[in-house]
């Protein structure tokens, strides 16, 4: 080998070693940077006339296991879903409480048990004002808990809906980042610059995106990353980002739902005008959709089922009785108008009681005689001392015309409407609970809440020997019936995650709590498992592609030695050149 090729070989080696040292130093400096992969210098041999004349760098690259990278993207989506789902269920668990044998445990089930216990006391001593007050207080606490729990469920749904809007915004930012990085990578390639660091940033952005939304992707021949939804909707096409659109609901109630038709409730999540709401398969976005539209509505449905069954049962019993003394008026809860058809059979007894609780007047009405509500009003107004009307809310009002008198009703054999309800029950004249069709609205009737003496614990005398001056209301079985209703098993329709079942109110409430507790525990376990799986994959990826500082430090030491050796060669060759020149001159 002549001196010139040797010198060229040494010089190119020196330049390559400098580049390797620079890259190795960068590896060490970025060892703790998330997503950074170990870089290496690509080297090629220079050949001139069939003879090696040195080496050169052809680029900087990173060795990435693409299959492992795809596994991480999938695992990130699974962990994003599990973590989000778990966080909401832990809050829901706190709202409904836990089943516990300790006396300090307070939840719907324990409150129902307390109510049953106090009803047992009232059944033994119906005239006790203390027990009456306690039962009304228990009912108010129970209704308040149902309302509060329902409110919290809807609050979580509202938070999930807002979370969807926020997550969509985050997704759009990450899609834009990937599209921008595609453009930067293309520009770097055109300029002959390394794209390895930009590709690291793009992979980090993709992994972050997949935590929010499950995606599929590939890198095309030009180096652009193409990203799609799990169902194939384009999200990143070269340097263009196809962003998502979503508008959160202004307010959320149990009636707010998502429909693919877009007719009401929540709006659709769209990409380029295509609704992808139901095609999102994993990630944080999917968890929020499932919570808002499935899991939390299921909990609400179970609460509503408990509330409506409780109200229907207790109201039916309450309408069989009367307060003692009877109130001056009774106002129904069923909406009617005078022109409505009225279909009924049997008789109902309407009585007016004086301030002493004695019968001032009464009349048994044959309900089959009336074909409209107007006919019924006429008959009620025909009872001495009674005034009947329909108020501005469309509710039947039966009032005593004389101050100090009260109104009492005995449903007798009455059967009204297709359901065959008793007269008082059909109109809701002596309901104990109002708004019972939903846990969000259930409440103790306001006048009973203000005065527990209005609690129906007696019964209007139904005997044929009843006469003016007789005691109108006597201690009846109403309190006992209420107690029996609270403790007896009854049929509950399927609701939420609970199937058709026959059980007591307290046990049904326990089933609701137990179901949510189990779901919460499962969500926690799933989150732990998914996070562990993701962490394991990330560790494997880091071990394969990350920077080992010990290895890189050793490599740097070796390169420094090689650099010194190459420099020594150049120095020696320079001396040889000088000696040669001196010899020629001599």
Q: Is the predicted pLDDT of residue 68 greater than 90, yes or no?
A: no
Is the four-CA dihedral 17, 23, 24, 25 of positive or negative sign? positive
Q: Helix/strand/coil (H, E, C) string of 332-391?
A: EEEECCCCCECCEECEEEEEEECCCCEEEEEEEEEHHHCCEHHHHHHHHHCCCCEEEEEC
Please tell me which residue, 557 or 214, carries the higher pLDDT value.
214
pLDDT at residue 168, rounded to an integer: 98
3-state secondary structure of 92: helix
Edge to edge, what strands does the sheet with 234-237 contain? 215-219, 225-229, 234-237, 240-241
Dihedral sign computed on CA atoms, order 237, 241, 247, 252:
positive
d(CA 154, CA 58): 60
For residue 260, the 8-state DSSP code is T
Averaged over 54-79, what is the pLDDT? 78
Averaged pLDDT for residues 557-571: 71
pLDDT score recorded for residue 58:
59
- Is residue 66 over pLDDT 90? no
Average pLDDT for residues 63-87, to the nearest whole number?
90
Whether pLDDT at 35 is above 70 = no
Highest mean pLDDT among 1-10, 65-74, 341-350: 341-350
Distances in Å between the Cα of 383 and the Cα atoms of 168, 251, 405 are 67, 49, 14
More confident residue, 586 or 80: 80
177: alpha, beta or left? (left if phi > 0; alpha if psi -120 to 50): alpha
Q: Would you list the DSSP string of 174-206? A: HHHHHHHHHHHHHHHHHTT---HHHHHHHHHHH
Residue 493 reports pLDDT greater than 80: yes
What mean pLDDT value characterizes the chain? 88
Half-sphere exposure (Cβ direction) of 23: Cα atoms closer than 13 Å = 23
Question: What gap in Å lies between CA 169 and CA 427, rounded to an integer?
Answer: 51
Lowest mean pLDDT among 25-39, 152-166, 197-211, 382-396: 25-39
State the pLDDT confidence band at 567, using cuts at 50, 70 and 90. confident
Banded pLDDT at 146 (limits 50, 70, 90)? very high
pTM: 0.85
Instruction: State how far the Cα of 222 lies from the Cα of 217, in Å rounded to an integer.
Output: 14
Structure-model confidence comparison of residues 453 and 106, the more confident one: 453
User: pLDDT grade, residue 342 (50/70/90)?
Assistant: very high
3-state secondary structure of 270: strand
Query: What local confidence, expressed as pLDDT, does residue 62 receive?
Result: 58
Backbone angles phi, psi at 518, to 5 degrees: -65, -45
Residues 219-239: tens digit of each pLDDT: 998 899 999 998 899 999 999
Q: Are 390 and 397 in contact (CB under 8 A)?
A: yes
Cα separation of 242 and 228, whole Å?
10
- 540-556 exposure pattern, b = at least 16 Cβ within 10 A, e = fewer: ebbeebbbeeeebeebb
Instruction: Grade residue 572 by pLDDT with cuts at 50, 70 and 90.
Output: confident
Residue 552 is predicted with a pLDDT of: 59
Structure tokens at 171: 């997704």
**Which string of DSSP letters, residue by residue, matches 281-297?**
-SHHHHHHHHIIIIIHH
Say which residue, 285 or 548, is predicted with more confidence.
285
Tens of pLDDT, residue by residue over 87-129, are: 999 999 988 876 544 444 578 999 999 999 999 999 999 989 9
Per-residue pLDDT tens over the stretch 277-292: 999 999 999 999 999 9
Query: Is the pLDDT at 60 greater than 80, yes or no?
Result: no
């Amino acid at each position: 080998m002549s001196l010139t090729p040797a010198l060229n070989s040494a010089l190119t080696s020196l330049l390559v070693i400098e580049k390797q040292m620079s890259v190795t130093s960068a590896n060490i400096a970025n060892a703790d940077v998330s997503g950074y992969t170990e870089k290496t210098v690509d080297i090629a041999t220079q050949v001139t006339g069939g003879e090696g004349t040195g080496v050169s760098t052809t680029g900087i690259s990173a060795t990435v296991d693409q299959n492992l990278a795809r596994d991480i993207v999938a695992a990130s989506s699974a962990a994003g879903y599990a973590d989000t789902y778990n966080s909401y269920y832990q809050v829901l668990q706190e709202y409904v409480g836990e089943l516990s044998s300790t006396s300090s445990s307070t939840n719907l089930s324990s409150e129902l048990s307390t109510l049953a216990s106090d009803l047992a006391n009232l059944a033994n001593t119906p005239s006790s004002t203390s027990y009456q007050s306690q039962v009304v207080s228990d009912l108010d606490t129970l209704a308040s808990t149902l309302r509060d729990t329902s409110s919290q469920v809807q609050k979580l749904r509202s938070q999930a809906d807002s979370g969807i809007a926020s997550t969509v915004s985050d997704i759009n930012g990450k899609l834009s980042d990937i599209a921008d990085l595609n453009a930067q990578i293309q520009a770097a390639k055109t300029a002959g610059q390394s794209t390895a660091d930009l590709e690291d940033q793009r992979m980090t952005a993709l992994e972050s995106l997949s935590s929010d939304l499950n995606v599929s992707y590939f890198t095309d021949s030009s180096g652009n990353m193409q990203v799609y939804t799990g169902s194939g909707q384009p999200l990143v096409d070269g340097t263009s980002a196809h962003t998502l659109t979503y508008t959160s609901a202004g307010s959320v109630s149990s009636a707010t739902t998502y429909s693919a038709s877009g007719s009401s409730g929540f709006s659709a999540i769209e990409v380029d005008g295509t609704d992808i709401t139901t095609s999102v398969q994993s990630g944080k976005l999917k968890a929020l959709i499932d919570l808002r539209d499935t899991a939390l509505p299921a909990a609400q449905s179970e609460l509503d089922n408990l509330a409506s069954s409780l109200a229907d049962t207790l109201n039916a019993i309450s309408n069989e009785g009367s307060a003692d003394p009877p109130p001056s008026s009774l106002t129904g809860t069923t909406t009617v108008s005078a022109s409505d058809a009225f279909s009924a059979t049997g008789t109902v007894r309407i009585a007016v009681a004086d301030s002493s609780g004695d019968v001032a007047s009464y009349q048994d009405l044959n309900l089959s005689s009336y074909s409209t509500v107007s006919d019924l009003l006429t008959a009620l107004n025909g009872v001495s001392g009674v005034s009947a009307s329909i108020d501005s809310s469309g509710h039947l009002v039966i009032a005593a015309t004389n101050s100090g008198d009260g109104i009492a009703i005995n449903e007798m054999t009455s059967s009204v409407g297709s359901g065959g309800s008793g007269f008082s029950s059909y109109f809701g004249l002596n309901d104990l609970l109002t708004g019972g069709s939903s846990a969000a609205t259930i409440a103790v009737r306001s006048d009973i809440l203000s005065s527990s003496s209005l609690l129906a614990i007696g019964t209007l005398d139904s005997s044929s020997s009843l006469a003016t001056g007789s005691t109108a209301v006597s201690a009846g079985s109403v309190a006992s019936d209420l107690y029996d209703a609270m403790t007896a098993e009854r049929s509950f329709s399927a609701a939420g995650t609970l199937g058709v079942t026959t059980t007591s109110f307290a046990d049904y409430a326990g089933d609701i709590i137990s179901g949510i507790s189990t779901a919460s525990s499962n969500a926690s376990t799933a989150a732990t498992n998914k996070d562990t799986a993701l962490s394991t994959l990330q560790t494997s990826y880091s071990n394969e592609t990350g920077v080992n500082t010990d290895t890189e430090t050793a490599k740097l030491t070796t390169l420094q030695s090689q650099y010194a050796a190459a420099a020594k060669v150049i120095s020696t060759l320079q001396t040889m050149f000088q000696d040669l020149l001196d010899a020629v001159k001599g």
